[in-house]
Structure 1
Amino acid sequence: MRHCSSNFFYLAIIGLFALFIGSTIHIFWQKIFQSLLSKELTLRNNSRIFNIWKGSNEISMNMDFYFFNWTNPEELKLPGKKPNLIQVGPYSFIHKTEKVNIIFHPENNTVSYDTRKFWYFNPSKSNGTLNDKIFHLNVVAVTAANKVRYWSSFYQSSLSYLLNKLSEIHVVKTVDELLFKGYDDSIINMGKMAMGNVDNMPPYDKFGWFYLRNGSTLFEGNFNMATGEDDIKNIGKAKNWNYKNKTSYYKLPCNAVEGSTGEFWPPGRDNNDISIFSADLCRSVTYEYTGKTINHGIEGNKYEMGDKTLANHTLRHYTHEKTKYFDKITTTEDFFNVEHSIINIKNNNINNSLNYDTIDMGKCFCNGECSPLGLINVTACRYGAPGFISLPHFHKGDPVLRQQVNGLQPNDKDHSFYITLEPNTGIPLDVAARLQVNILLQPSNTIDLFKNVPKIYLPIMWFDLRGGTTDNLASSLRQILWLNKIGIYGSTILASIGGLMLIIIGVMQYLKSRQINDQNTRKLNMIQGNVQTEKVYMEIVAKNDENQRNDCQLYSKN
Structure 2
Amino acid sequence: MMFGSFHQVKTRLMQTKPYVIFLAFFGTLLIIIGLVCYLSVFHSLINRIISERLIISEGSEMFEKWKQIPMPIYYQYYFFNVSNPLDIERSGAKPRIKEIGPFTYRSKWSKNSIKFNQNDTVTFREYKSLEFVPELSYGSDTERILTTVNGPLAVTLALLQKAPLVVRNIVSLGLSTITEGFFIKRSARELLFDGYPEVLTSFGPLLNPSIPNTKGRFGWLYGRNNTDDGLFTVFTGKNNLAKINQVDRYNGLNEISYWKKRSRCSRLDGTTDGQIIALGRDRSFHLFHPELCRTIRFIPIELALNSSNFISKTLDNNQIKFTVDRFTPDSNVLSSWDDYGGNSCYLSKLTPPRPELGDLLVNIRQRNQNQSKFSIKPFMRIKNGRIFFRSGVFDMSQCKYGAPVLFSYPHFLYAHPNYRENIGGMKPNESRHRFEMLIEPITGTSIRSYARIQINIYISKPPWISRFRNIPEIVFPVFWQELRAEATMDIIERINWALTKPFLYADIASYVIIVIGLLLVFLSGCFMLKNNFKSTQEKVTKSAKNNTIVEGKLHLEEYINNSIRLKSSNKNGINVGVINRENNGDSFQQISDIK
2:119: which partner in 1?
108
2:132: which partner in 1?
121
Q: Do residues 361 (structure 1) and 342 (structure 2) align?
A: yes
1:140: which partner in 2?
152
Q: Do residues 239 (structure 1) and 222 (structure 2) align?
A: no
Q: How does 1:490-505 map to 2 (within 5 A)?
A: 490-505=508-523
- For residues 338 and 27 of structure 2, what CA distance do their matches in structure 1 show? 57
Q: Do residues 95 (structure 1) and 113 (structure 2) align?
A: no
1:333: which partner in 2?
none
> Given that residues 271 and 277 in structure 2 are in contact (C-alpha distance below 8 angstroms), is that contact kept between their aligned partners in structure 1?
no
Quick one: structure 1 residues 269 and 493, their matched pair in 2 at CA, closer, same or farther if it must change by over 3 Å?
A: farther
Question: What is the CA deviation profile of residues 369-413 of structure 1, one whole-angstrom value per residue up to 9, with x for unaligned ones?
Answer: 332222111111112221111111111111111111111211121
> Given that residues 159 and 447 in structure 1 are in contact (C-alpha distance below 8 angstroms), is that contact kept between their aligned partners in structure 2?
no
Question: What is the CA deviation profile of residues 169-213 of structure 1, one whole-angstrom value per residue up to 9, with x for unaligned ones?
Answer: 111101111111100111113545x46x92244545311122122
Quick one: structure 1 residues 501 and 102, their matched pair in 2 at CA, closer, same or farther if it must change by over 3 Å?
A: same
Q: How does 1:326-475 map to 2 (within 5 A)?
A: 360-367=341-348, 368-475=386-493
1:545: which partner in 2?
none
Deviation at 1:43, TM superposition (A): 0.5
Deviation at 1:452, TM superposition (A): 4.0
- For residues 508 and 533 of structure 1, what CA distance do their matches in structure 2 show? 27
2:210: which partner in 1?
199
Question: What is the CA deviation profile of residues 258-306 of structure 1, one whole-angstrom value per residue up to 9, with x for unaligned ones?
Answer: 1111334455765522111111011101112122112363211111024
2:580: which partner in 1?
none
2:177: which partner in 1?
165
- For residues 47 and 201 of structure 1, what CA distance do their matches in structure 2 show? 40
Whichever residue aligns with residue 228 of structure 1, its letter is: G
1:293: which partner in 2?
313
Deviation at 1:447, TM superposition (A): 2.9
Q: Do residues 311 (structure 1) and 335 (structure 2) align?
A: yes
> TM-score scaled to structure 1, two decimals?
0.79
Question: What is the CA deviation profile of residues 108-155 of structure 1, one whole-angstrom value per residue up to 9, with x for unaligned ones?
Answer: 111111111111111111111111111010110111111122223443
1:29: which partner in 2?
42
Quick one: structure 1 residues 264 and 16, their matched pair in 2 at CA, closer, same or farther if it must change by over 3 Å?
A: farther
- For residues 533 and 481 of structure 1, what CA distance do their matches in structure 2 show? 68
Secondary structure of residue in 1 paired with 2:50: helix
Deviation at 1:31, TM superposition (A): 4.0
> Given that residues 443 and 452 in structure 1 are in contact (C-alpha distance below 8 angstroms), is that contact kept between their aligned partners in structure 2?
no
Q: Do residues 283 (structure 1) and 283 (structure 2) align?
A: no
Secondary structure of residue in 2 paired with 1:159: helix
Quick one: structure 1 residues 520 and 372, their matched pair in 2 at CA, closer, same or farther if it must change by over 3 Å?
A: farther
- For residues 463 and 337 of structure 2, what CA distance do their matches in structure 1 show? 32
Whichever residue aligns with residue 123 of structure 2, its letter is: S
Deviation at 1:499, TM superposition (A): 4.2
> Given that residues 433 and 452 in structure 2 are in contact (C-alpha distance below 8 angstroms), is that contact kept between their aligned partners in structure 1?
yes
2:549: which partner in 1?
530
209, 230, 250: which one aligns with 2:259: 250
- For residues 269 and 380 of structure 1, what CA distance do their matches in structure 2 show? 30
Whichever residue aligns with residue 55 of structure 2, its letter is: T
Whichever residue aligns with residue 261 of structure 1, its letter is: T
Quick one: structure 1 residues 190 and 385, their matched pair in 2 at CA, closer, same or farther if it must change by over 3 Å?
A: closer
50, 54, 61: which one aligns with 1:41: 54
Root-mean-square deviation (Å): 3.0
Q: Do residues 188 (structure 1) and 201 (structure 2) align?
A: yes
Q: Do residues 260 (structure 1) and 271 (structure 2) align?
A: yes
Deviation at 1:496, TM superposition (A): 2.6
> Given that residues 82 and 97 in structure 2 are in contact (C-alpha distance below 8 angstroms), is that contact kept between their aligned partners in structure 1?
yes
> TM-score scaled to structure 2, two decimals?
0.74
Secondary structure of residue in 1 paired with 2:197: coil
Quick one: structure 1 residues 245 and 449, their matched pair in 2 at CA, closer, same or farther if it must change by over 3 Å?
A: farther
Whichever residue aligns with residue 62 of structure 1, its letter is: Y
Quick one: structure 1 residues 94 and 244, their matched pair in 2 at CA, closer, same or farther if it must change by over 3 Å?
A: same
Whichever residue aligns with residue 315 of structure 2, its letter is: N
1:60: which partner in 2?
72
- For residues 518 and 90 of structure 2, what CA distance do their matches in structure 1 show? 86
Whichever residue aligns with residue 67 of structure 2, its letter is: K
Quick one: structure 1 residues 91 and 266, their matched pair in 2 at CA, closer, same or farther if it must change by over 3 Å?
A: closer
- For residues 496 and 202 of structure 1, what CA distance do their matches in structure 2 show? 73
* Deviates further, 412-421 or 153-162: 153-162
Question: What is the CA deviation profile of residues 474-531 of structure 1, one whole-angstrom value per residue up to 9, with x for unaligned ones?
Answer: 1111111124423652354144324423542354345435644764686478666738
Deviation at 1:247, TM superposition (A): 2.4
> Given that residues 392 and 408 in structure 2 are in contact (C-alpha distance below 8 angstroms), is that contact kept between their aligned partners in structure 1?
yes
> Given that residues 169 and 449 in structure 1 are in contact (C-alpha distance below 8 angstroms), is that contact kept between their aligned partners in structure 2?
no
Quick one: structure 1 residues 267 and 43, their matched pair in 2 at CA, closer, same or farther if it must change by over 3 Å?
A: same
Secondary structure of residue in 1 paired with 2:176: helix
Question: What is the CA deviation profile of residues 427-483 of structure 1, one whole-angstrom value per residue up to 9, with x for unaligned ones?
Answer: 111111111111111343123344243231111111111113211011111111124
- For residues 480 and 32 of structure 1, what CA distance do their matches in structure 2 show? 13
> Given that residues 23 and 521 in structure 2 are in contact (C-alpha distance below 8 angstroms), is that contact kept between their aligned partners in structure 1?
no
> Given that residues 268 and 426 in structure 1 are in contact (C-alpha distance below 8 angstroms), is that contact kept between their aligned partners in structure 2?
yes
- For residues 243 and 39 of structure 1, what CA distance do their matches in structure 2 show? 28
- For residues 479 and 177 of structure 2, what CA distance do their matches in structure 1 show? 27
Whichever residue aligns with residue 426 of structure 1, its letter is: G
- For residues 66 and 412 of structure 2, what CA distance do their matches in structure 1 show? 33
* Deviates further, 93-102 or 147-156: 147-156
**Structure 1 unpaired stretches of 5+:** 316-344, 346-359, 538-558
Question: What is the CA deviation profile of residues 62-106 of structure 1, one whole-angstrom value per residue up to 9, with x for unaligned ones?
Answer: 22111110111222257783211111111111111111111111x
> Given that residues 269 and 426 in structure 1 are in contact (C-alpha distance below 8 angstroms), is that contact kept between their aligned partners in structure 2?
no
2:499: which partner in 1?
481
Quick one: structure 1 residues 169 and 268, their matched pair in 2 at CA, closer, same or farther if it must change by over 3 Å?
A: closer
175, 190, 195: which one aligns with 2:188: 175
Secondary structure of residue in 1 paired with 2:218: coil
* Deviates further, 26-35 or 367-376: 26-35
Whichever residue aligns with residue 66 of structure 1, its letter is: Y
Secondary structure of residue in 1 paired with 2:549: helix
Whichever residue aligns with residue 233 of structure 1, its letter is: A
Larger relative strand fraction: 2
> Given that residues 440 and 455 in structure 1 are in contact (C-alpha distance below 8 angstroms), is that contact kept between their aligned partners in structure 2?
yes
Quick one: structure 1 residues 204 and 274, their matched pair in 2 at CA, closer, same or farther if it must change by over 3 Å?
A: farther
* Deviates further, 29-38 or 167-176: 29-38
- For residues 277 and 179 of structure 1, what CA distance do their matches in structure 2 show? 23
2:227: which partner in 1?
216
- For residues 202 and 461 of structure 2, what CA distance do their matches in structure 1 show? 24
> Given that residues 156 and 203 in structure 2 are in contact (C-alpha distance below 8 angstroms), is that contact kept between their aligned partners in structure 1?
no
- For residues 295 and 470 of structure 1, what CA distance do their matches in structure 2 show? 13
Deviation at 1:238, TM superposition (A): 0.3
Quick one: structure 1 residues 78 and 206, their matched pair in 2 at CA, closer, same or farther if it must change by over 3 Å?
A: closer
Quick one: structure 1 residues 374 and 498, their matched pair in 2 at CA, closer, same or farther if it must change by over 3 Å?
A: farther
> Given that residues 29 and 487 in structure 1 are in contact (C-alpha distance below 8 angstroms), is that contact kept between their aligned partners in structure 2?
no
Secondary structure of residue in 2 paired with 1:211: coil
Secondary structure of residue in 1 paired with 2:148: strand
